Amino acid sequence: MCEEVNAKIATDISSSVDNFLFDCDGVLWNANEVIPGSLETVKGLKALGKRIFYVTNNSTKTRAEYAQKCVKLGFPATEDDIVCTSYISALYLHNMNFKGKIYVVGNPSIGAELDRFGLRHTGIGPDPPDEDQPAFQPVPGLDLDPEIKCVLVGFDKYISYPKIMKAASYARQEGNIFLATNEDSHLPMDVPYVVPGTGSIVTSVKVAARKEPVVMGKPQTNMFKCLQEAHNLDPSRCMMVGDRCNTDISMATNCGMRSLLVLTGVSTLADVGAYKASGDPTHATYVPTYYASRLGQLGKLLGL
């Protein structure tokens, strides 16, 4: 396992895969910059008749907004080709016929996806400043709403102590559902500081609530199952391409797909070596079938 893609493997992939599932950030682009070779490869695979899907743990856009971003950068996409964690969270609650109200930590796009399914929520936005209140005192607006039966935690760059307090209080309540869009530790950005990801926000809520959330995004299987149902996908004819072993590659393994790790994002070959050596069964799911320096390496080998 974890062979470097060469000409023979590329040809095998081309003949045995009908559906390519791409993680976005770190595979297709970094922030708003297309990674050289990715565009040609995706467009070339589509021209060969392959189906292309985009599977992202990012919760800050709706499916429609993600499709717009893809198209703006040149990647062929419609809303139906996208699964993002704002959408999958709303779909999950819709499918369970959830009728209560949702306390959301997130951004307006999560609210928009919930609205599309007619799911009631608290609305999104920075809480009012709380500077006059000692942190350990009840804060304004902390009267708990008895209609709230679910907490959904996604990426929120305005995360605050009162929001953690409210989210943990609702999550802790007996019978309430506690969902997290994803648990990515940090966002890989080319800056000299750490950019905390949704995982750091989720952790602050779950530690206080003393309860584990149900995670919607990769490495869980929800996003693949949603595509599988909608498009009748056979996992043995799918390839997941990702840059993060503990999310993208692990989801592929958990779903019975092959996987291709590209080295343009978070995970390195040294990480893969450590996962192989650890003997931990969870780490075994992080080991990809193949790797390539970048997605464009596959495209080049296929003459795309």
Size of the site for ligand PLP (CB under 6 A): 13
26 binds Ca ion (CB under 5 A): yes
Note whether 155 binds ligand PLP by CB under 6 A: yes
Indicate whether 65 belongs to the interface with ligand PLP (CB under 6 A).
no
The helix or strand, by DSSP H or E, that contains position 283, with its residue range, turns out to be helix 281-284
Non-local (6+) Cβ contacts of 77 within 8 A are: 52, 54, 66, 67, 70, 71
Q: Which is nearer to ligand PLP, 60 or 222 (CB)?
A: 60
Cβ nearer to ligand PLP, comparing 58 with 169: 58
Report the distance separating Cα 82 and Cα 55, nearest Å.
6
Nearest CA to 215 among 104, 113, 88, 54? Answer: 88
Nearer to Ca ion, 35 or 152 (CB): 35
184 binds Ca ion (CB under 5 A): no
Residue 243 interacts with Ca ion (CB under 5 A): yes or no: yes
In the complex, least distance from residue 221 CB atom to ligand PLP, rounded to whole angstroms: 15
As a whole number of angstroms, the distance between CA 134 and CA 189 comes to 35
- Is 297 a binding residue for ligand PLP by CB under 6 A? The answer is no
Count CB-CB contacts under 10 A for residue 291.
21
Q: Is 109 in the site for ligand PLP (CB under 6 A)?
A: no
Based on the shown chain and the rule CB under 5 A, indicate whether residue 154 belongs to the binding site for Ca ion.
no
Are 260 and 5 spatial neighbours (Cβ–Cβ below 8 Å)?
yes
Tokens linked to 182: 């994803």
Please report, as ranges, the residues that interact with Ca ion according to CB under 5 A: 23, 25-26, 243
Please report, as ranges, the residues that interact with ligand PLP according to CB under 6 A: 23-26, 56-58, 60, 155, 184, 187, 197-198
